[in-house]
Amino acid sequence: MVEYFESVEALEPEYDWDVEELLERSQERERFRLEAELQQVEVLLREREDIHEESVEELESKLEWYVERLELEYKRSKNRERIAELLEE
């Protein structure tokens, strides 16, 4: 059994694994990956916000157009009624 430990000790300098260093590297890679993913999510969020804003503006514009049309038609119908009344007199 002593021979086994002696042989492992002889190999240790070649395979000097620093667990803390491996963990730090792994954490750093994970942090970079998460930061890249966060940036991608932020880009997608900005794109969706732009699309939303564009859609809202388009809907508001259409709504204004329809309201103007309705008001115009309402005034025309009132004018028609008034003209009909005047013609009847």
Mean pLDDT (whole number) for 14-34: 88
Tell me which of 73 and 52 has the higher pLDDT. Answer: 52
Mean pLDDT (whole number) for 25-47: 98
Mean pLDDT (whole number) for 12-41: 88
State the DSSP string of 17-80.
Answer: --HHHHHHHHHHHHHHHHHHHHHHHHHHHHHHHHHHHHHHHHHHHHHHHHHHHHHHHHHHHHHH
Write the pLDDT tens digit of every residue in 34-43: 999 999 999 9
Stated pTM of the model: 0.56
Q: Is the pLDDT of residue 55 over 70?
A: yes
Q: Is the pLDDT of residue 29 over 70?
A: yes
Compute CA 78 distance to the chain's CA centroid, rounded to the nearest angstrom. Answer: 49
**Mean pLDDT rounded to a whole number for the chain:** 84
